[in-house]
Chains A and B, each alone.
Chain A
Amino acid sequence: MMFDVSIITDRVEPILHGLLVTFQTWFAGVLIGLVLGLGIAVLQLFGGRWLRIPLRMFIEVIRATPFLVLLFLLYYGGPEFGLSLEPITAGILGMGVYGSVYFAEIFRGGFQSVPKGHVEAAECLGMGRWQCIWRVQLPQMLVIILPALVNMITILCKETAVLSIITIPELTMVLTGIGSETFAFVETLLVLCIGYLILIELSSRLGLWLERRVGRFLVRS
């Protein structure tokens, strides 16, 4: 079993392009997931019973469904309800929806971790509910939930590999493609593993750095 470096070095350009697609889908998916998740959490906590119950059901159903199945539903089932998407759009949307329920749970925990006294104080000072969420609750909870958010974001990075199954040309698809073209499975799969390990390590390092940075201002009682 020889390791043939030229298989990789001859194809740096397509591999880098695959990496770029991985980054794009990851970031876009995380962004959509964060926005949707925050929306779900806020509506769940402050929206009353008629919103809370359907949102709870949505969270439970998405959490019970594998990411791959969600992608199949969006990409192959979508045209039947008038949603014909490009693979990459379906992939990003799928990541967003999948991530949103986990982010929503994290945000919900965060809102509940902000001391009640702060909210009451904000009310006494004449802040409205949204002002209180935006100025008092969000800034404080973001520090507390940062580790959980970073953890979920790294999990989503790994989930991008699944996007290859619906033919999105990200890192996994590009490298397994090269593998079946050249039969050099060892080289391509090793590079793939190392690539993901570097990505994961970098993002968790970045997360730790952020935690230290924003944690300076938090006074824990």
Chain B
Amino acid sequence: MFDWPTFLESLPLMAQALVVTLQTSLVGLAFGFVIGIAVASMRLSPTPLLRRLGGAYIFVFRGVPLLVQLLFIYYLLPRIGLPNIPPIGAAIIGLALASGAYIAEIFRGGFLAIPHGQLEAANLLGLSPWQTLTRIKVPQAIRLTLPALVNEMILLIKASSLVSVVGLADLTRVAQNLAASNYLFLQTYLVLALFYCLINIPLAGLGSLLERRLGRSA
């Protein structure tokens, strides 16, 4: 049933593609993190306009399916004068913009959970808003929301399978190409699923471990 020679032959290609998948997801997550902190700060800002803008960002980037967002970036960036963006660029931009919206919601909860007295104390001690954000709010918010952030990472790694439609040779794309040439669809896609499981199941375990740990000490 299982064709071992073909499987072993395909392993180096799949391993390469795994690196591409991890790279795009991690870089996308890193940018999404920055976007998320910025948007969450906007949502909680005293200025109504900024609050509105932050809300609109989350509404749009959480409401439109990621696949549509990726198609948008892929087809439209060249038309507004940004030609020759390599597929990996389009993929990372797409993942970053979308995960930014989800991370913003996570961080909003994290920021709100920080006692207000701390922010007043920071203000009294003469910390600038930037210092308050980077030294007081973000480190604590990360600790509070770590399980949710791990969960977001799993979602992002899964979502990265969609970057195959913009032509990036990620895990899913490479498996598609392999299946098209070896005709072993079931086997190739089972191996593909296994690759995702090997990354995501340990991550999910880490997430629930963190949840229990942090829940106990909180």
Size category of the B interface is: 35 or more
Task: Among B76, B79, B189, B197, find the residue whose CB has the most chain A CB atoms closer than 10 A.
Answer: B189
Task: Please state if A66 and B189 are interface contacts (CB–CB under 8 Å).
Answer: no
Give the size of the chain A interface in residues (CB under 8 angstroms).
Answer: 38
A19 at interface, CB cutoff 8 A: no
Task: Please state if B161 and A69 are interface contacts (CB–CB under 8 Å).
Answer: yes
Task: Please state if B71 and A176 are interface contacts (CB–CB under 8 Å).
Answer: yes
Task: Please state if B76 and A186 are interface contacts (CB–CB under 8 Å).
Answer: yes
**How many residue-residue contacts, CB under 8 A, span A and B?**
113
> Residue A65 contacts which of B65, B158, B175 (CB distance < 8 angstroms)?
B158
Task: Please state if B79 and A185 are interface contacts (CB–CB under 8 Å).
Answer: yes
Task: Please state if A185 and B75 are interface contacts (CB–CB under 8 Å).
Answer: yes
Task: Please state if A77 and B189 are interface contacts (CB–CB under 8 Å).
Answer: yes
Q: Is the interface of B mostly helix, strand, loop or mixed?
A: helix
Q: Find the A residue at minimum CB distance from B159.
A: A66
Task: Please state if B65 and A162 are interface contacts (CB–CB under 8 Å).
Answer: yes
A123 at interface, CB cutoff 8 A: no
> Residue B158 contacts which of A67, A73, A77, A201 (CB distance < 8 angstroms)?
A67
Task: Please state if B196 and A77 are interface contacts (CB–CB under 8 Å).
Answer: no
Contacts from B to A (Cβ < 8 Å): 59-60, 63-68, 71-72, 75-76, 79-80, 154, 158-162, 164-165, 172, 175-176, 179, 185-186, 189-190, 192-193, 196-197, 199-201, 204
What are 9 residue pairs bridging A and B, where the CB atoms are less than 8 Å apart in the complex? A65-B197, A66-B158, A66-B160, A72-B185, A77-B189, A164-B67, A185-B79, A186-B76, A189-B68
Contacts from A to B (Cβ < 8 Å): 1, 60-61, 63-70, 72-73, 76-81, 158-162, 164-165, 172, 176, 179, 185-186, 189, 192-193, 196-197, 200-201
